[in-house]
Chain A
Amino acid sequence: MSLKTAKPIMHSAAWRISLWPTLAFAIGTMLVFVFLHRFVASDIQRRSDAWLSGEVQVLADVAERTPKDALYDRVVGEVAELAGKEVPNKDLSEGTSNDSVFFLQAGDNGSLKLWVGAGTGEPNLRAIQTRRIVPDHPTDLQVKGFGVPFRVASTRINDGSYIYLGLSERDELRVLRSLRLRFVLLWLLLVLLGFGIVFFTTRRMLSHVRRITEAASTIGHSDLGARVPTTEQNDEVGHLALTLNRMLDRIENSIHQLHTITDSLAHDLRSPLTAIRGKLEMSLSASTQGEQAEPIVSAIEELDRLTDFLNKSLDVAEAKADALRLTRSEIDLGELLRVMTDLYEPSMVEKGLQIKLHSIASVKIEADAALIHRMIANLFDNELNHLPTACTVIVRLKTEDEVTEIIFEDDGPGFSAEVIDHLFERRVKGMESNGHGLGLAFIDAVARAHGGKVIATNRESGGARIAVTLPLAGKEPTRPPIAANHRAN
Chain B
Amino acid sequence: MRLLLVEDEIDIQRFLRTSLEESGYEVEAAPDGKTAERLVGEGPFDILIVDLGLPDQDGISLILKLRQLGVRAPVLILSARRSVDDRVRGLEQGGDDYLTKPFALAELLARLRNLLKRNSPALNEATRLRVLDLELDLLRREASRGGELLQLTQQEFVLLEYLCRNAGRVVTRSMILDKVWGMRIQPDTNVVDVHIYRLRGKVDGNRQQPLIRTLRGVGYVLKDR
- Which positions in A face B, CB cutoff 8 Å? 262-263, 266-267, 270-282, 284-285, 289, 293-294, 296-298, 300-301, 303-305, 307-308, 311, 314-315, 325, 327, 339, 342-344, 346-347, 350, 370, 373-374, 377, 380-381, 384-385, 435-436, 486-489
- Identify the stretch in B28-36, B135-143, B189-197, B202-210 within 8 Å (CB) of chain A at 4 or more residues: B189-197
A308 to B82, CA, bound (A): 11
B49 to A: closest C-beta gap in Å = 13
B9 touches A325 (CB 8 A): no
Q: List 9 A-B contacts (CB under 8 A).
A: A262-B82, A271-B12, A280-B217, A281-B218, A300-B217, A301-B217, A314-B82, A373-B184, A380-B187
Chain A neighbourhood of B80, CB < 8 A: 266-267, 270-271, 274
- Classify the secondary structure of A's interface with B: helix
Known: A266-B82, A293-B217, A297-B216. A339 touches B181 (CB 8 A): yes
Chain B neighbourhood of A315, CB < 8 A: 82
A305 to B85, CA, bound (A): 24
B105 touches A278 (CB 8 A): yes
- Which positions in B face A, CB cutoff 8 Å? 9, 11-12, 15-16, 18-19, 53, 80-87, 89, 100-105, 155, 177, 181-191, 194-195, 197-198, 215-218
A488 touches B187 (CB 8 A): no
Known: A266-B81, A278-B12, A346-B194. A284 touches B102 (CB 8 A): no
Chain B neighbourhood of A267, CB < 8 A: 53, 80-81
- Classify the secondary structure of B's interface with A: loop
B15 touches A347 (CB 8 A): no
- 14 further A-B contacts with Cβ under 8 Å, apart from A285-B218, A377-B186, A384-B191, are A267-B53, A273-B102, A274-B101, A275-B12, A277-B104, A284-B218, A289-B216, A293-B217, A315-B82, A327-B83, A346-B195, A381-B189, A385-B189, A487-B83
Chain B neighbourhood of A271, CB < 8 A: 9, 12, 80, 101
B102 touches A277 (CB 8 A): yes
A7 to B82, CA, bound (A): 43
B191 touches A486 (CB 8 A): no
B181 touches A274 (CB 8 A): no
A327 touches B15 (CB 8 A): no
A273 to B61, CA, bound (A): 25
B210 to A: closest C-beta gap in Å = 14
A324 to B131, CA, bound (A): 46
A271 to B11, CA, bound (A): 9
Known: A278-B19, A281-B218, A343-B181. A350 touches B102 (CB 8 A): no
A416 to B178, CA, bound (A): 36
B194 to A: closest C-beta gap in Å = 4
Interface centre among A289, A297, A346, A486 (most CB of B within 10 A): A346
B182 touches A339 (CB 8 A): yes
User: Of the candidates B16, B18, B181, B186, which one forms a contact with A308 in the assembled complex, judged by CB atoms under 8 Å apart?
Assistant: B186
User: Of the candidates B12, B84, B194, which one forms a contact with A327 in the assembled complex, judged by CB atoms under 8 Å apart?
Assistant: B84
Top 3 nearest A-B pairs (CB, nearest first) are A297-B217, A275-B11, A278-B15
A294 to B216, CA, bound (A): 8
A263 to B52, CA, bound (A): 13
Known: A347-B190, A487-B84. A275 touches B9 (CB 8 A): yes
